[in-house]
Amino acid sequence: MTGGGRRARFISARQDLKRKAVNYQKGLELALTPDLVSGFETVVNRSRDRFVASVAPLLAKLRALQTAALATPEAAAAFIVETQAVSYAIKGLGGTLGYPLATAAAKSLNDFVHHRDGLDAKGLDVIRVHVDALYLILAQPQAEDDPTQRAVIDGLFQLTEKYG
Amino acid sequence: MSSAKIDFAQVRFLVIDPHPLSADLLKDVLQMLGAIGVVKCATTERAIELLRQEPFDIVITELETAPMNGFEFVHFIRTSSNSPDRLLPVIMLTARSEREYVAEARDQGITEFLAKPFTVDALYKRLISVIARPRQFVDAGTYFGPDRRRRPEPFQGPDRRESAPRQSVTA
């Protein structure tokens, strides 16, 4: 045996949660059936309207902020912070709620603004294009394999790659 | 013969997510599975207050939280002398899913990691793992958390486990 580090100490797995939640009478099977999974996903997808209703005002706020974003460094910083928060939220939620393209577009936008602390006219244009695309995506039926929509997403990632 | 089941009504969840819709969605999903005790909060500061006030079985946290981020929160839970429960199962559910974040989460002592956007099936599997297949903890000096070696893979480094005494204490 090599190495002079201290020996690892092991603590047995705690069983209290297993004892109180696992049983043979009541609850869900350990392995969900495909039908049950599909039923759950359908229920989750019913939150789609809530998603659109919640995201639309966030995008509207970004549009409002972007008009003055280059006026002062403070305005630019506030706009970037807001863009980071909105893009992160959409990135995390879209796919779960049946909007995988919203997640893709938001990921591209979040990649662009993550760690960014300044903004120029070109950067503002990149954000504006992403916000416009998100509006369109939320207004359209989702079809991940739609070549036009896919091309839009690819274009957004190219923008982020080029100017990010 | 009937098979094992999970009664989610017996499990108390604490959800930490600053985004209201995201927290609501997770709460809805947990309730759909049968959970009754689901509390959500927007900050890690509030989460620690809640953990001191009442018992929770599982914490599900975003990485992008404040004032501590998810990594700092888990580090606090696992290592602080003020931790409410060093063995508390913590699932990280985050939109930061790149490889480096997954590795960091593991090294901070996260019990399970799940990327957003998530599916109910993927979340369910993480919950089953936490509830029905709890892992032993390792205190290796520089690491305190669930055993990171889940699969029997050959390990090339020095073996400090061979004769380590097994303990059954709760930290």
pLDDT of residue B170: 41
From CA A93, how far away is CA B99, in angstroms rounded? 20
Question: Which amino acid is residue B170, in one-letter code?
Answer: T
Q: What digits encode the pLDDT tens for the residues A111-141?
A: 999 999 889 999 999 999 999 999 999 987 6
Q: Rounded to an integer, what distance in angstroms lies between the CA atom of residue B110 and that of residue A63?
A: 38
| Domain ranges, residue B73 | 10-146
Among chain B residues, CA nearest to A91: B95
Distance from CA of A7 to the nearest CA of B (A): 5
Say if residues B117 and A96 touch (Cβ distance below 8 Å).
yes
pLDDT reading at B165 higher than 90: no
Q: What are the C-alpha distances in Å from B70 to residues B44, B85, B144, B169?
A: 8, 16, 16, 26
Write down the pTM of the prediction: 0.89
Task: Say yes or no to pLDDT of B68 above 60.
Answer: yes
Q: Residue A87: pLDDT above 60? A: yes
| ipTM of predicted complex | 0.88
Q: How far is CA A1 from the centre of its chain?
A: 46
Tell me, yes or no, if A93 comes closer than 8 A to chain B by beta carbon: yes
In a domain, B120, yes or no: yes
User: Is B41 within the bounds of a domain?
Assistant: yes
In a domain, B92, yes or no: yes
The answer, for A42 touching chain B at a CB cutoff of 8 Å, is no
Q: Name the more confident of B161 and B53.
A: B53
Cα–Cα distance, A51 to A31 (Å, whole number): 29
> Within 10 A of A151 (CB to CB), how many other CB atoms are there?
10
A7 → closest Cβ in B6, B147, B160: B160
Chain A residue closest in CA terms to B3:
A24
- Confidence band, pLDDT 50/70/90 cuts, at residue B134: very high
Domain count for chain B, please give it: 1
**Residue B127 domain flag:** yes
| Single-letter amino acid code for the residue at B21 | L
Inter-chain contact A89–B19, Cβ cutoff 8 Å? yes
User: pLDDT by residue (tens digit) across B74-118?
Assistant: 999 999 999 999 999 999 999 999 999 999 999 999 999 999 999
Per-residue confidence (pLDDT) for residue B141, from 0 to 100? 86
Cross-chain residue pair A22–B6, CB shorter than 8 Å: yes
Separation in Å, CA of A12 to nearest CA in chain B: 5
- At residue B1, the pLDDT reads 57
Give mean pLDDT, residues B20-46: 95
CA–CA min distance B3, chain A (Å): 6
Supply the CATH number for residue B20's domain: 3.40.50.2300
Instruction: Please indicate, yes or no, if residue B156 is contained in any of the structural domains.
Output: no
For residue B139, the 8-state DSSP code is E
In a domain, B111, yes or no: yes
Asked if A26 lies within 8 A of B5 by C-beta distance, the reply is yes
pLDDT, position A43:
81
**B153 located within any domain:** no
Phi, psi of B109 (to 5 degrees): 100, 20
| B131·A50 Cβ contact <8 A | no
Asked if B8 contacts B30 with a C-beta cutoff of 8 angstroms, the reply is: yes
Indicate whether B4 pLDDT > 50: yes
pLDDT beyond 60 at A105: yes
CB-based contact B5 A30, cutoff 8 Å = yes
Q: How crowded is residue B153: how many other Cβ atoms within 10 Å of its Cβ?
A: 7
Interface contact flag, A10 B138, Cβ < 8 Å: yes
The helix or strand, by DSSP H or E, that contains position A90, with its residue range, turns out to be helix A73-93
Average confidence (pLDDT) over B133-149: 93
Give the pLDDT score at B69.
98
Tell me if A6 and B160 make a contact (CB, 8 A cut-off).
yes
Give the whole-angstrom CA distance, residue B168 versus residue B171: 9
**CB contacts, 8 Å: B2 with chain A:** 24-25
pLDDT above 90 covers what percent of chain B?
Answer: 82
pLDDT of A47: 83
Nearest to B8 by CA among A40, A47, A38, A29: A29
Tens digit of each residue's pLDDT (9 = 90 or more) over B22-34: 999 999 999 999 9
Chain A residues 72-91 within an 8 A CB cutoff of chain B: 88-89, 91
> What integer best gives the mean pLDDT of chain B?
90
pLDDT of residue B2: 72
Tokens linked to A62:
């970004």
